Structure 1
Amino acid sequence: MRGFLVLEDGTVYSGEAFGYPGRSHGEVVFNTSMTGYQEILTDPSYCGQIVALTYPLIGNYGINDEDLESDGPRVAGFVVHEACPRPSNWRSTGSLDHYLRENRIPALQGVDTRALTRHLRRRGTMRGILATGEVDLEEIKALAATRPALSGAKLVPAVTNAKPYTVEGGPRRVVLYNFGVKENIIRWLRREGCTVTVMPARSTAAAILALNPEGVVVSNGPGDPKDVPYGVATVRELLGRVPLMGICLGHQLLALALGGDTYKLPFGHRGGNHPVKDLSTGRVYITSQNHGYAVRADSLPTGAVVSHINLNDGTVEGLRHRELPAFSVQYHPESSPGPTDSEYLFHEFIRLVDEHRGQ
């Protein structure tokens, strides 16, 4: 069965359909990771997006039940150059095609994903429609140009939890403020001896503080941080009352809560090979990233300091407060997929938690 990816500017990429037959729409983005397609598929930060992978062979080690970052795929569609039909790995429990099919995710293979990536780099991220089977291309082109842009106001409620829940892990009491958390963040906190209570995105500061937490992690999530003003308000009320660590969207929400500003990047940072410099030590880390927005360095108030920068484009990758126990990074220290160079950031958070416990 044939299929097409049609961008809002009218550009068409054709390929062979696999996964679930049908149609989907979303923001078309690319990821440069060489491995980790299962983690990418299930990362809640990709909610509402059609993801293209630049690495040419995808699906060769299959799908397993241990590497999920949420309870199922969050992408709107999937585009690869070649999908491996017969995976080979001792951990594999099924194929990529079967996994996408049973989770109703349409996909394309046979696409020149590097050409698609070059186009998105030149023209910027744009909306698109992935359609399989018999389609009217002119109709699809017209629809692609008129689809509404992604809105965090709808995306975050789709990936947060409805009710609080607790994951036992140790004596430290930590709240995970959830805008679309990756499971590996919770795994890391548990390994560090934390019992984690996961609170929904609409939680108030009063509800979080009522749990008497010794630290709060503000999670990653999809969309524009300005579309979740309630999250900004809650983080602002938590500042100075409990140690805070922000990750990805959580980093942007902390910046907004401090009085800073954010903006949309032309095509975002998505992959497992982004170089980031820690300005306090001069050390460079290779990081895992997935975001389409960034913090404006010149918008930050006096108390906030840029702690990390991206060596590819100079964008803000981390910040900390001079006086309050609060810091954040734009990238993913828990990796999954990607390098674990930045695990020291969890240790820094635990240090702040232990200091708070001793007060």
Structure 2
Amino acid sequence: MTAAYVALEGGHVIEGRGRASGTARGELVFTTAYTGYEESLTDPSYEEQILTFSYPLIGNYGVREERFESDRIHPRAVLAKELTEDVAEWLENEGVPAVDHLDTREVVTDIRDGGAMKCGIAVGEDVTEEDALAELEACKTMSEHTEIGAQVSVDESVVYGEDNDGDTVALVDCGAKGSIVDSLVARDATVHVLPHDANAADVESVDPDVLFISNGPGDPANYENAIGLVEAFVEDTPVAGICLGQQIVAEALGGTTEKMTFGHRGINQPVLDLESGQVVMTTQNHGYTVADPGDHLEITQINVNDDTPEGIDGIEYDVITRQYHPEANPGPEDTFDFFDDVLAMADARQTTAVPADD
């Protein structure tokens, strides 16, 4: 059996079975999702993290590329109770260390009680506990990854839906899931995916009907360019955001954000709409949240479990953001209408901007 060691913050080392060789370090987090492992593993929001699956068997329906959210696996390593051969081979081929035959209930409990923590992984024929501890020693906090946006963003603008006749969206790519683009294109939008460090001139060249800030990994305070774009365009252009995008919008408009203890990651997070009283189930993956929306934004939806903000709208600006993933890959599908609301906001702005005929 290939040796595998997992060193947790504080120095505790767990031994498991190695399924994909290598060494890694990152923030240890868990997801409660019981399906959607392909989507989770290719979600850019897991960059610089080590992902623990709480569901005991991962890989029971194979690996299909059409389900991927990006072109590669993003977690630095993977922990599970049991990985199938398909998933283990996929991780090995992509050079992502993987460990199973772990008591993931204990790992998840440690994270729940102590919070997301630094972690070091060592997998291989000749590795030792000291190799895992060395990775742990070199591990950074998520806030210290100040250039994380560059690791997950496009390098230059890419256009999707060029032949569409609907609204034009400038999507600032801070680690966008592919299904966000797909959801907008399916609604006849033309989507210009811009780098995370795009400037005002880049956005102006698109002449967008909506400025859209994507999901992504890390501390929202490190995305200074995206914050600046919201500040620059919010008075004249509708603004939308998902996940990290909600946090960036709040930072830009006078709100504050904070690190959560262990975050929300899974496909079963209940969200209450404060106006309608309706509760929907949502997909989520984030470790930061809006602490205070400030004076220009109002909270419209909250998490049923801990009352953290899940939806924020503008008070005097055309702004709509969601902390969860309305594109809902891998599910559930309760919140698809968010994209309709975003484009309707843009259409309403265009209608009011056109003078009525005499």
TM-score of the superposition, structure 1-length normalised? 0.93
Unmatched tracts of structure 2, length 5 or more: 354-358
Task: Report what 1:241 is aligned to.
Answer: 236
Task: Report what 1:90 is aligned to.
Answer: none
Moved more, 72-81 or 152-161: 152-161
Q: Deviations 1:203-245 (Å, cap 9, x if unpaired)?
A: 1123202211111211000000011222211111111211111
Q: Aligned partners of 2:80 and 2:70: how far apart in 1?
A: 22
Task: Report what 1:92 is aligned to.
Answer: none
- 1:208-247 matches, within 5 Å, as 208-247=203-242
Q: Aligned partners of 2:187 and 2:330: how far apart in 1?
A: 20
Q: Does 1:268 align with 2:263?
A: yes
Q: Kindly state the Cα deviation for residue 143 of structure 1 after the two structures are TM-superposed.
A: 4.5
Q: Deviations 1:125-178 (Å, cap 9, x if unpaired)?
A: 101011112333245335414522233422110000000010116212111111
Q: Does 1:99 align with 2:90?
A: yes
Match of 1:111 among 99, 102, 126: 102
Q: Does 1:28 align with 2:28?
A: yes
Q: Kindly state the Cα deviation for residue 113 of structure 1 after the two structures are TM-superposed.
A: 1.0
Task: Report what 1:83 is aligned to.
Answer: 83
Q: Which letter does structure 1 place at the counterpart of 2:155?
A: A
Q: Kindly state the Cα deviation for residue 11 of structure 1 after the two structures are TM-superposed.
A: 2.0
Match of 1:128 among 119, 132, 137: 119
Q: Aligned partners of 1:317 and 1:284: how far apart in 2?
A: 12
- 1:309-348 matches, within 5 Å, as 309-348=302-341
Q: Which letter does structure 1 place at the counterpart of 2:312?
A: L
Moved more, 4-13 or 249-258: 4-13
Aligned residue-pair number = 347
Task: Report what 1:163 is aligned to.
Answer: 156
> Cα–Cα, structure 1 residues 170 and 149, in superposed 2: closer, same or farther, change >3 Å?
same
Task: Report what 2:66 is aligned to.
Answer: 66
RMSD (Å) for aligned C-alpha atoms: 1.4
Q: Is the Cα–Cα contact under 8 Å of residues 255 and 295 in structure 2 kept in the other structure?
A: no
Q: Aligned partners of 1:356 and 1:337: how far apart in 2?
A: 32
Q: Does 1:351 align with 2:344?
A: yes
Q: Does 1:11 align with 2:12?
A: yes
Moved more, 155-164 or 300-309: 300-309
Task: Report what 1:57 is aligned to.
Answer: 57
Q: Which letter does structure 1 place at the counterpart of 2:73?
A: P
Q: Aligned partners of 2:145 and 2:240: how far apart in 1?
A: 21
Q: Is the Cα–Cα contact under 8 Å of residues 32 and 265 in structure 2 kept in the other structure?
A: yes
Q: Is the Cα–Cα contact under 8 Å of residues 319 and 327 in structure 1 kept in the other structure?
A: yes
Q: Aligned partners of 2:118 and 2:84: how far apart in 1?
A: 27
> Cα–Cα, structure 1 residues 49 and 281, in superposed 2: closer, same or farther, change >3 Å?
same
Secondary structure of the residue aligned to 1:246 is strand
Q: Is the Cα–Cα contact under 8 Å of residues 5 and 132 in structure 2 kept in the other structure?
A: no
Q: Is the Cα–Cα contact under 8 Å of residues 7 and 145 in structure 1 kept in the other structure?
A: no
Q: Aligned partners of 2:251 and 2:145: how far apart in 1?
A: 15
Q: Deviations 1:101-128 (Å, cap 9, x if unpaired)?
A: 1111110111111110001111111010
> Cα–Cα, structure 1 residues 301 and 204, in superposed 2: closer, same or farther, change >3 Å?
same
Q: Which letter does structure 2 place at the counterpart of 1:170?
A: N
Q: Is the Cα–Cα contact under 8 Å of residues 285 and 341 in structure 1 kept in the other structure?
A: yes
Q: Aligned partners of 2:147 and 2:108: how far apart in 1?
A: 27
Q: Deviations 1:184-221 (Å, cap 9, x if unpaired)?
A: 00010011111111011111123202211111211000
Q: Which letter does structure 2 place at the counterpart of 1:7?
A: L
> Cα–Cα, structure 1 residues 155 and 347, in superposed 2: closer, same or farther, change >3 Å?
same
Q: Aligned partners of 1:346 and 1:3: how far apart in 2?
A: 44
Q: Kindly state the Cα deviation for residue 335 of structure 1 after the two structures are TM-superposed.
A: 1.4
Secondary structure of the residue aligned to 1:223 is coil
Secondary structure of the residue aligned to 1:210 is helix
Task: Report what 2:46 is aligned to.
Answer: 46
Moved more, 231-240 or 267-276: 231-240
Secondary structure of the residue aligned to 2:62 is coil
Q: Aligned partners of 2:132 and 2:286: how far apart in 1?
A: 27
Identity %: 36
TM-score of the superposition, structure 2-length normalised? 0.94
Match of 1:195 among 187, 190, 193: 190
Q: Is the Cα–Cα contact under 8 Å of residues 152 and 222 in structure 1 kept in the other structure?
A: no
Unmatched tracts of structure 1, length 5 or more: 86-94
- 1:283-298 matches, within 5 Å, as 283-297=278-292
Q: Aligned partners of 2:7 and 2:205: how far apart in 1?
A: 49
Task: Report what 2:201 is aligned to.
Answer: 206
Q: Does 1:308 align with 2:301?
A: yes
Q: Aligned partners of 2:208 and 2:147: how far apart in 1?
A: 28
